Structure 1
Amino acid sequence: MPVLEPGVAMPQTIVSPAKVFVPKHAAGMRFELRSCVTSEQKSCTVRVVLGSIMLPQSFQRIITCTGNVNCSLALDSPPWEKWLQIMVESLGVLVLAVLTPLLFCFTACRPGSTSSFLNFSSLNQSQAGPRPGSTGAAGSSTLPTGASRNVSNKRSFCLQNQPVVREDLDVVSVRYRLLNGPSVPVHSVSPTLLLLNLNTGMDSGGSLVVSLLLNKVLGNATVVACVSAASPVLSLTATQNCSTAFFQGYPLSVSTSSAEAMLIVLYPQTDDWFLSLQLICPKGQGECNTAEAKVTVFAYLTPCFNDCGPYGQCSLLRRHGYLYAGCSCKAGWGGWSCTDDTKAQSVGAQNLATLLLTLSNLMFLPAIAVAIYRYYLVEASVYTYTMFFSTFYHACDQPGVAVMCIMDYDTLQYCDFLGSVVSIWVTILCMSRVKKILKYVLFILGTLLIAMSLQLDRRGVWNMMGPCLFALVIMIAAWVYHGVKRRHCYPSSWKRWVFYLLPGITLAFIAISVYAFMETNENYYYTHSIWHVLVACSVAFLLPPRDKHKKPWAWSQKLTCRYQICQNDREELYAVT
């Protein structure tokens, strides 16, 4: 790809694009196309596209040049230290067009007290001298020393730089600290410029926040600011739209009537960002031209603005090597920082949802009572564990005001998931009526494997489906074994099937259907509460009856005090001396 030099006229064909490098502190650039002829010496019509063809058309500058008419384009604030691509397309007959000449010139803006607006032209002054009306060429002796000093003294500085230090705090979390203090001086003669470096390649997934606070100003003057990428806006006025050559910036302003202003740029592009500030004086207030305003600037990059507030949670997402941050909103709230209350739930609805999700776990109390009455103490302990952590997990999981966390949220969630799966595991194994030693071994081994599986993938589908299917296989095998051994259907009592097993299985299937097919984010509070009630009730129906050789607990019998003759069946041996 040919490289164009500033100030050097270069013939260029439409076969391939060209490029030119924009130097630092370039305040403006000018493109000229003086003629367009074909190989047959006929006039032609071409379209010139400045800017990358990979970007949207809104980030490009397009001009149409016809015949021998002088075609030019002037751009303010081109992107600093970037390659600018020039593509020429023929709009007429498909012939080879030659452009003579293709000329670029840059107007430089150097900060400091000894530099002003200068014109960058070719270092070879014999080919292209300074343009009419320019102040001279950088590095040349076009103007005498005394004349250069006079021009510099008469014209104001191009800009005032303020040193800024970038401090990396965390992932997608950066703070910018001004070395001269949080307050910066702002004048009306030249803009004050702050560089916000977001060029590390890992800063595009957060939110850039710029906050301005006006501390001191004269009269009705206004401080106008502009945040832009790639290049700063060096000419700020009350009617300036805060736009650069190829990008649209973000305007801000502070005054005595509105002393604070804040800007949030979501997912800023990876580039050097600039904050330009300038004092704008109203008409008829001459003393304002020499005045100075003080503005406190706070600038930082955060994953989520305001940490998503009370109705959201900030989450990081890494996909294909890119890191993004975003808010996960709850209770009907929306927006980038969960501040949109268009579909938000009221405080009463939040309290109702919390009560439904927490109090529905009390339906485990009948299951716990049945398990204790039938001497299933291990199962009763598991149900108690599940009821406790499910209650407080859902109390902590709610957004807004209706929330209460007794311990870390992640711990409560893990314990809730673990208790739910283990409860199903021990219930089905208890229904299989295997030997006690085998049942308790399966209890412990299954619980350990479930805990490991949840640690690997807490929301995996097979965390619940796997133990359920395996326990059902064990139960069916045990029931078939008992039926073959007794030569009768197992369980043998029709009352057991009609009044216990069938209602329990029906409730369990309804609960699974509600959980898998009906639960959404909108009806989560109701459907999940129904899931709690149905599962707890099904457990109370599905628990097998008490063993026949075991009597009810002592408190269910009438206590009597009397002497009994105890017989010791153990045979003891004594040594006879």
Structure 2
Amino acid sequence: MPVLEPGVAMPQTVVSPAKVFVPKHAAGMQFELRSCVTSEQKACAVRVVLGSITLPQSFQRIITCVGNVNCSLALDSPPWEKWLQIMVESLGLPRPCLGEVLVLAVLTPLLFCFTACRPGSASSFLNFSSLNQSQAGPRPGSTGAAGSSALPTGEASRNVSDQRSFCLQYQPVVREDLDVVSVRYRLLNGPSVPVHSISPTLLLLNLNTGMDSGGSLTSMSLANATVVACVSAASPVLSLNATQNCSTAFFQGYPLSVSTSSAEAMLIVLYPQTDDWFLSLQLICPKGQGECNAAEAKVTVFAYLTPCFNDCGPYGQCSLLRRHGYLYAGCSCKAGWGGWSCTDDTKAQSVGAQNLATLLLTLSNLMFLPAIAVAVYRYYLVEASVYTYTMFFSTFYHACDQPGVAVMCIMDYDTLQYCDFLGSVVSIWVTILCMSRVKKILKYVLFVLGTLLIAMSLQLDRRGVWNMMGPCLFALVIMIAAWVYHGVKRRHCYPSSWKRWVFYLLPGITLAFIAISVYAFMETNENYYYTHSTWHVLVACSVAFLLPPRDKHKKPWAWSQKLTCRYQICQNDREELYAVT
């Protein structure tokens, strides 16, 4: 919004927007601007922009008209059933002087002419028998499709006179929603489409539902004759036999070509725009159009919409994203791979790098073995069980989480991830509570209650920040309160031994602090394999230092009795009584 200031001239150009509705079956549109004059009866120069001003420049047509000369613009295949925006902007207007207001009207008569197209249907009645036919037909990608041969000329010549009166032939297509962002288009009159040279055969692929964002539109043609095809949005191409140019008024289509030497053609459109898509097919004769006026070719067409092309391959995962009520589909690539379907190996990791990353992330969990040994030696069997659980599931989760060839999953990925997160948080929880040295009954109650609450919070939000920080802070509060209680009761610092602080607590706290810093501030997608492995090692080593010593009344692990290695003869001194009769 311009700001007007006193004494400052600010020229403004006011554009005059307009729009015209393009009817269905419009083969062309002729735009003409006649004798541009101003209100002072002077010749003027204007610039006319046809198309949306919010879309890229390829969706616009711009012409400049100067003076009284009529200028025109012809648009082939304008978008059907759309409002075409028209903006007329005057060029070269005189600038107002200071304190003056320039009021100037530009008169530009506009003339629009449409060329209508008379469509013809594939048949005079709907073939309902095709609805009950077997679905075991040729699948997309197969080569031996039935009906891929040219029909005799005599059979097709009976329809030549009827075809001359139509500019296109419609083929009925049914849209079948198979799954989320997964659609198959099926022809009602069979998998084969008759194609002629006089008028193109048209197939409507409806992607105008508003729920097909993302995905890949795949069109496959099998033929035994020379056929050119064009896939376009908003409007079809109706003059393939004349120019063989696959473009409409505002859209560059996707050309296809099949012949006897190349009987299969495939087209994949990534992220097709929401609109009506058209597949135009027409028979082309290299020697002249007259020799194939009475010919007919059978082309087998498969068209379907998939959320991700080729299921993103071995280095990606097809993901769905819902935002503002719209569902999007795309590939999430790993191991440095990129591209629409994770096929770009410009920054991809080698197989050796993938194996090294897997070994680092899995074998680094073996550093929990010293912590488990210390816990068992000091009679902390529950804590040792938790560390064993964490080591096991962290190892196999990272073995399953890797992309490419270095992957091993012993169970469902989601289950492994949940168990790994649960074991990590519970390990921190039980370690800090063990350091607090509270009564056993209270400690085990807190173990069970905290584990249940942690499991619930992880189910609600697995990657939430407070799922780890919450239990850690609460356990630290309990530990500090317990240490203060012990210190007040004994009337000296707790723990009281300086050796405990210097050789165990301070190294353990330092390792834990470094591990948290690496995890929070240094870990990225590029160095994840190294930093996360370092996190495993530092956390496991800190646990071995932070575990408190065993209770004084507990003895080291030893056999309570020595086993004897000899036989002993047991003698029964009981007297036996016999009855004498």
Task: Compute the TM-score of the two structures, normalised by the length of structure 1.
Answer: 0.82
Q: CA deviation at 1:191?
A: 1.6
Contact 2:151 2:296 in 1 (8 A): no
Q: Deviations over 1:475-527 (max 9, x none)?
A: 11111211221122222222222222222222212211221122111121122
- Cα separation, 2, equivalents of 1:26 and 1:134: 36
SS at match of 1:317: strand
SS of structure 2 residue aligned to 1:238? helix
| Contact 1:7–1:122 under 8 Å retained in 2 | no
1:22 Cα offset (Å): 1.0
Q: Give 1:234 deviation, angstroms.
A: 0.9
Distance 1:233 1:100 in 2: 31
What residue is the counterpart of 2:58 in the other structure?
Answer: 58
Equivalent residues of 2:48, 2:89 under 8 A apart? yes
Relative to structure 1, the CA distance from residue 185 to residue 143 in structure 2 (aligned partners, 3 Å threshold; closer, same or farther) is closer
Distance in 2 (alpha carbons) for counterparts of 1:248 and 1:518: 46
Q: Conserved in 1, the CA contact under 8 Å of 2:130 and 2:190?
A: no
Take 2:464 and 2:163, find their aligned partners in 1: how far apart are those partners?
73
Distance apart, 1:72 and its partner CA: 1.6
| Segment drifting more, 450-459 vs 144-153 | 144-153
CA distance in 1, matches of 2:342, 2:249: 34
1:413-492 to structure 2, matched below 5 A, reads 413-492=417-496
Instruction: Return the alpha-carbon distance in structure 1 between the equivalents of residues 136 and 46 of structure 2.
Output: 25
Pairing 1:108–2:116 present? yes
Cα root mean square deviation, aligned: 12.3
Q: Which residue pairs with 1:127 in the alignment? A: 135
Look up the SS of the partner of 2:510 in the other structure. Answer: helix
Q: Structure 1 160/121 Cα, relative in aligned 2: closer, same or farther at 3 Å? A: closer
Call closer, same or farther: CA 1:384–1:128 in 2, change over 3 Å.
Answer: closer
8 Å contact from structure 1 (residues 7, 128) kept in 2: no
Q: Residue 171 of structure 2 contacts residue 202 of structure 2 at CA under 8 Å; is this kept in 1?
A: yes
For the 8 Å contact 1:3–1:18, the answer to whether it is kept is no
The separation in 1 between residues aligned to 2:174 and 2:317, in whole angstroms, is: 30
After superposition, the C-alpha distances for 1:230-267 in whole angstroms (9 at most, x for unaligned) are: 10111125964421111222222233444333322222
- Deviation of residue 531 (structure 1)? 1.3
Higher mean C-alpha displacement, 520-529 vs 409-418: 520-529
Partners of 1:568 and 1:407 in 2: CA distance: 60
Inter-partner Cα distance in structure 2 for 1:489 and 1:133: 77
Query: Offset of 1:297 from its aligned partner?
Result: 2.1
> How far did 1:135 drift?
44
Per-residue deviation, 1:330: 0.8
**Number of aligned residue pairs:** 571
Deviations 1:181-204 (CA, angstroms, capped at 9, x unpaired):
333232332222111101111112
Deviating more after overlay: 358-367 vs 178-187: 178-187
Give deviations 1:305-335, integer Å, cap 9, x for gaps: 1111111111122223332222111111111
Structure 1 gaps of 5+ residues are: 207-212
Secondary structure of the corresponding residue to residue 217 of structure 1: strand
Distance 1:115-1:332 versus aligned 2 partners, 3 A rule: closer
Give the distance between the partners of 1:246 and 1:6, measured in 2 at CA.
45
Q: Distance in 1 between matches of 2:139 and 2:480?
A: 95
Q: How far apart are 1:343 and its partner, in Å? A: 1.4
* Corresponding residue to 1:195 among 204, 207, 228: 204
The 10-residue stretch of structure 1 (558-567 or 176-185) with the greater mean CA deviation from structure 2: 558-567
How far apart, CA to CA, are the structure 1 residues paired with 2:269 and 2:231? 9
- Deviation of the 1:386 alpha carbon: 0.8
Does the 8 Å contact 1:197/1:273 carry over to 2?
yes
Contact 1:5 1:122 in 2 (8 A): no
Contact 1:186 1:192 in 2 (8 A): yes
Q: Deviations over 1:143-194 (max 9, x none)?
A: 9999999997694631121211111122222111122233323233222211
Note closer, same or farther for the CA distance 1:570–1:311 as it changes in structure 2 (3 Å cut). farther
Instruction: State whether residues 431 and 543 of structure 1, in contact with CA within 8 Å, keep that contact through their aligned partners in structure 2.
Output: yes
Deviations 1:415-457 (A, max 9, x none): 1000000000000100110111111111111111111211121
Closer/same/farther in 2, CA of residues 332 and 127 from structure 1, 3 Å limit:
closer
Contact 1:217 1:293 in 2 (8 A): no
Identity of aligned residues (%): 96
Alignment pair present for 1:257 and 2:257: no
Change (3 A) 1:114 1:240: closer
Q: How far has the Cα of 1:463 moved from its partner? A: 1.1
Question: 1:314–1:325: 8 Å Cα contact kept in structure 2?
Answer: yes
C-alpha spacing 1:56/1:227, structure 2 compared with 1 (3 Å): same
Distance 1:68 1:397 in 2: 71
Which segment is superposed worse, 433-442 or 117-126? 117-126
Shift of 1:10: 33
1:119–1:138 CA contact under 8 A, matched in 2: no
Further displaced range: 147-156 or 493-502: 147-156
Q: Distance in 1 between matches of 2:507 and 2:79?
A: 73
